[in-house]
């Protein structure tokens, strides 16, 4: 299941916005929403979640809905739910998603209801909000049992179950891998989890479990120091707990909505975080809202939607050929060409550099004002600064041109 198109009307400042996630006859697996604060990134994520939760929609008169989605189902999904298709019909879609949410008061054929219930654990909506409180984790049950939920919000309750999930995963493997020792089972679980993060080249890795009754996950750094999950740094907690919370839900053919995945992450991790999320589960569609130029630089411009307000205050979006290619570009290029930042420098420094350039243009490079401004910036930026070097070159060119004019 994937979203092909989203249409939002009159929700939190979005008057009328339509985004198509289909490019070259293929539906995008990764969508990155970017833009200034207040441009609607989080609103889009929440509107998608609310659609599946039967909020802000009118199935009988779709044109009156605040949110409409075009949902694409794979052929194998249609085969599973064949007693219930055509799901393009709005009323059938309402019943279908309501049953996935656990509402079974609709009157439908027993065969259809049986089909949906049989396969309902293969579809999920997972929403990871930006703000999460990473309180101390003390849960350590080895028999975690999670009931299927169609809508899943990553919150402190889900996060607290992570140690239990890891311990339960180890016990599950022990029952089906009877020929392996418990140490081999533990190593298998550890390698399974660490492999998700291989691309990040982390200094911290899951090592095993505490040997007391808590069976808490134990991590180890390159210096050989051991600590439990509560002793991770803020960035490491964000990374491990968010990621493992999604993995715990075992998403497959699902939609994953993530708000600001860059929070507390080192830029090196931000550059690769999308690849980490893509390694979780199978055939999922990932929709991310971000401010990070590092994340934008890790995907193609066809995956990026830059939200902005036009001269009338209406939120619009640029994507694909309307944007410069961001993939593989340095951060300053992404900030300027994709995110519309006028300068990557602090505004005060940029203003002072511009004043220097103006003095050169006016042939005032020998004045006291120029020399004082130049000296101050040289002390701040150093003699290897690119802009100061270019100003030096402009001065030399000006001097040469003026000298030739005077000699004539």
Token couple for 51: 């659609």
What DSSP designation does 336 have? I
Whether 68 and 39 have beta carbons less than 8 Å apart is answered as no
Which span out of 60-74, 136-150, 175-189, 392-406 was modeled with the highest average pLDDT? 175-189
pLDDT digits (tens, 9 = 90+) for 355-368: 998 998 888 989 99
pLDDT, average across residues 87-93:
58
pLDDT digits (tens, 9 = 90+) for 264-304: 888 889 989 999 999 998 899 999 999 888 898 888 889 99
Confidence band of 327 (pLDDT split at 50, 70, 90): confident
Whether 288 and 30 have beta carbons less than 8 Å apart is answered as yes
Which residue has better confidence, 105 or 121?
121
| Mean pLDDT of the residues in the chain | 81
Which residue has better confidence, 320 or 404?
320
Beta strand 125-128 with 255-259: parallel, antiparallel or unpaired? parallel
pLDDT digits (tens, 9 = 90+) for 202-222: 888 988 888 776 677 889 988
What is the C-alpha to C-alpha distance for residues 84 and 89, in angstroms, rounded to an integer? 10
pLDDT for 159 equals 83
pLDDT digits (tens, 9 = 90+) for 253-268: 999 999 999 888 888 8
What is the C-alpha to C-alpha distance for residues 403 and 408, in angstroms, rounded to an integer? 9
């Amino acid at each position: 299941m994937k979203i092909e198109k989203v249409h939002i009307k009159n929700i939190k400042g979005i008057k009328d916005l339509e985004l198509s996630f289909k490019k070259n006859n293929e539906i995008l697996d990764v969508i990155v929403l970017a833009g200034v604060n207040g441009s609607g990134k989080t609103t889009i994520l929440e509107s998608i979640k609310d659609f599946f939760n039967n909020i802000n929609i009118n199935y009988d008169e779709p044109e009156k809905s605040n949110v409409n989605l075009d949902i694409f189902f794979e052929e194998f999904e249609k085969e599973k739910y064949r007693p219930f298709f055509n799901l393009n019909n709005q009323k059938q879609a309402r019943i279908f998603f309501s049953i996935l949410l656990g509402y079974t008061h609709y009157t439908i054929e027993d065969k259809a209801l049986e089909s949906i219930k049989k396969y309902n654990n293969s579809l999920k909506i997972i929403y990871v909000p930006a703000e999460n409180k990473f309180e101390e984790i003390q849960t350590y049950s080895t028999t975690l049992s999670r009931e299927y939920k169609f809508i899943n919000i990553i919150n402190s309750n889900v996060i607290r179950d992570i140690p239990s999930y890891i311990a339960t995963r180890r016990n599950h493997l022990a029952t089906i891998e009877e020929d392996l020792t418990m140490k081999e089972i533990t190593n298998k679980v550890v390698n399974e989890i660490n492999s998700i993060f291989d691309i990040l080249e982390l200094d911290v890795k899951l090592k095993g479990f505490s040997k007391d009754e808590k069976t808490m996950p134990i991590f180890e750094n390159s210096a050989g120091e051991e600590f439990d999950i509560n002793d991770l740094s803020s960035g490491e907690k964000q990374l491990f707990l968010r990621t493992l919370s999604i993995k715990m839900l075992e998403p497959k053919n699902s939609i994953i909505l993530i708000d600001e995945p860059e929070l507390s992450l080192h830029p090196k991790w931000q550059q690769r975080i999308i690849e980490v999320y893509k390694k979780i589960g199978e055939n999922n569609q990932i929709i991310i809202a971000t401010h990070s130029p590092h994340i934008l630089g890790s995907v193609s411009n066809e995956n990026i939607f830059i939200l902005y307000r036009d001269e009338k205050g209406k939120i619009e979006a640029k994507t694909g050929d309307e944007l410069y290619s961001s993939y593989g570009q340095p951060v300053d290029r992404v900030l300027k060409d994709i995110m519309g930042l006028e300068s990557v420098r602090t505004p005060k420094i940029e203003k002072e550099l511009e004043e220097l350039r103006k003095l050169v243009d006016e042939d005032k490079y020998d004045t006291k004002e120029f020399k004082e401004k130049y000296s101050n910036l040289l002390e701040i930026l150093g003699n290897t600064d690119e802009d100061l070097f270019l100003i030096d070159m402009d001065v030399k060119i000006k001097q040469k041109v003026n000298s030739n004019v005077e000699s004539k």
